Amino acid sequence: MTRTFTISSAHHAKFHLDLERELNDAQRAAVTCGDGPKLVIAGAGSGKTRTITYRVAYLLTKGILPVQILLATFTNKAAREMLNRVEMLTGGDAVSIWGGTFHAIGNRILRQHAPLVGLQSNYTILDDEDQRELLKVCVGDAKVKVEAKRFPAPAIVQDLISMMFNTQRGMASVVEERTPHFGEWVPQLEDIAARYERKKRAANAMDYDDLLRFWWLLLERHPEVAKRLGGQFRHLLVDEYQDTNTIQAQIVERMAHDGSGNLMVVGDDAQSIYKFRGANYDNILKFPERNPGTEIFKLEMNYRSTPEILEFTNASILHNHRQHRKTLVAQRTGGSLPVVIPINDVYQEATFVAERILQLREDGIPLEDMAVLYRAHAHSSILQAELIKRNIPYDVRSGVRFFEQAHIKDVVAYLKVLDNPHDEIAWRRLWLMLPRIGPVTAARLWEQIGTSMSPLDAIVAPAVGTALPAAAQAAFKQFQADLRALKSAAEDRAPSELMQSVIESGYLEYLRATYDNFQSRLEDLQQLAIFARSYRSLRSLLSELVLLGELYGQDVTGGGSSDTERLILSSIHQAKGLEWRVVFLIRMCEGEFPSELALRDPDGEEEERRIFYVATTRAKDELYISHPLIDLSPRGNGQLLLQPSRFLREIRFTLYEQGEVRSSPMYGQED
């Protein structure tokens, strides 16, 4: 017989929540719901963060202790923002809440229970650089022969190992999907992954993925600990559930099942766009199936955008079949229709965007209230050059500024030595890309050719390579062959064609083996070749690149202080969770958006449509969508016409305004 004792809680809420005034009906229903599994589908701009923070505060008013609440987020910034809001609502009662990223919470739990999973509590956490250095050691220990064909760089190996864990798949499967050109190296990669694990364990060290791995092992191997943790946390809340990977979902659902069963997950399946990072869409889509009795709440009142923008967005996402259906409703009054603008080519697109931004700036809209979004970072290249020419300050949120990227500088180094063979810095950059050539060997090479009348002729002489280490000679001979071909091509080819020849040379193998996101970087280089079409000579192109200030890190985007207002350029993935008064969405044509690579996946089209949904819901007041008509890429060469994106063609024409841009004379041409 069990004896039950009732005591009064030592925790009494000292604050009052005015839920009737502060929340709409749907938010209030989610905030005040009872026990059990809950799924909150929070549409874009619907007050998701407000709902979560009020839910936590509401639980505190019901006598739940702060230490009995676990709030998992995806960024430290999100965790701090939510906990700060809770503290403002409660007057400080949120201090003891277990809030933070999955990795931070996992680390906190493992510090207490490390010996149970074979670790010491003083384990070291490896950052990204530490991981790459350890992988270098593993490659060396494995004695991989890389002279004949380049072995993937540590950063790529790191990405492959992480993806194995996040998707719970084998190395062969991950390589086939992400880097099929490394298929022949799968046995060696598997060996290195195993060595990497052994070295981490021997060093009592963990990487970020291990914080999740051992948290899960703790729950699996020690049911008594899982039950104790489940009992400790009477309420678990998870933000952005559509972005969780398989392990993250298994962890929180296991803890809830072993405890109170009170798990509330919040997110928007229509904003699930991170499959490439290992996010599992089924985590949110099939949550009710895995958690019987789930109560579903839908936050559909949008406080961000005009009714016209939302109607356009709703019409698009309606075409996805696998989703929790909802309809965003505007809290705001009417505005202007989104504008869809056919554009001749990417040059005219850049001109239109830049000029329209200047017009809006004159109308009183600050630059920081405007953003240009794109599917791939490479799509911003021509626009960045145009903004620099017009002295429009901008910040890039999708990565390094286009012309500052390492692979862009690599290709430009080839062009520099063709135009000026006495450029020692460019030569050194090229030599250091070759296997088994370091700074000392590069210095010796320059000593050999630097005083020649034509260093370019000198470097391709057969005798030069014989002085190199035996392990470096095969790659160097290929390098010499590439230079001979490029030297010949430079005599009669346009800069864009010459640049394409560089891309198709032996550099392509270096690009594959050295940099992550190979396909994206290749697209960058193809965009650079398109940029070069405006120039008739190699020298004029190189002069323009230098004058733009990009290759040498000079800030030519306004010349003001760091607080100068700046236009935002961002990939759609980086823009998620943000908003602007005016949004420009560029390159909305078939072959660019949706991404051809993504369409190879059976679920690719629906994820691409979700990316489009994320892009359009960033706009508060005005939305401009442009689609070039002429393909200037190597495949189109100015002869192929481009179709508007299928995501535009499937939307009823009455939901947007058709824009028109009148042609103006070509700009940027150089003699």
Q: Which residues are catalytic?
A: 48-49, 239-240, 271, 618
User: 263, 252 in Cβ contact below 8 A?
Assistant: yes
Return the closest-CA partner of residue 505 out of 482, 488, 472, 480: 482
DSSP string, 550-604: TTTT---S----TTS--EEEEEHHHHTT--EEEEEE---BTBTTTBTTGGGSTTH
How far is the CA of 649 from the CAs of 205, 533, 629, 659, in angstroms?
A: 52, 30, 14, 15
**CA 496/CA 669 separation, integer angstroms:** 13
**CA 73/CA 79 separation, integer angstroms:** 6
Provide CB contacts within 8 A for 76, sequence distance 6+. 100, 101, 104
**CA 284/CA 483 separation, integer angstroms:** 53
Buried b (16+ CB within 10 A) or exposed e, 574-599: bbbbebbebbbbbbbbbbbbbbeebe
Provide CB contacts within 8 A for 224, sequence distance 6+. none
How far is the CA of 18 from the CAs of 21, 50, 54, 58, 331, in angstroms?
A: 6, 13, 10, 10, 20
Count of H-run helices and E-run strands, the chain: 30, 19
Return the closest-CA partner of residue 668 out of 358, 343, 350: 350
**CA 630/CA 640 separation, integer angstroms:** 6
Taking the C-alpha atoms of 35, 41, 47 and 52 in order, what is their torsion angle to the nearest 10 degrees? 30
Residue showing tokens 């405007």: 370
Taking residue 161's Cβ as centre, other Cβ atoms within 10 Å add up to: 22
Kindly report the three-state secondary structure assignment for every residue of 82-93.
Answer: HHHHHHHHHCCC
If phi > 0 it is left, if psi is from -120 to 50 it is alpha, else beta; for residue 47 that is: left
Scanning 203-339, the segments in alpha helix (DSSP H) are 208-221, 223-232, 246-257, 282-285, 287-290, 307-317
Provide CB contacts within 8 A for 289, sequence distance 6+. none
**CA 141/CA 13 separation, integer angstroms:** 60
Residues facing 630 on adjacent strands: 641
DSSP string, 422-463: T-HHHHHHHHTTSTT--HHHHHHHHHHHTTSS-HHHHHTSHH
Contacts of the segment 78-81: beta carbons below 8 A, 24+ positions apart: 78/49, 78/239, 78/240, 79/104, 81/49
How far is the CA of 405 from the CAs of 50, 225, 335, 400, 521, in angstroms?
A: 39, 48, 39, 6, 9
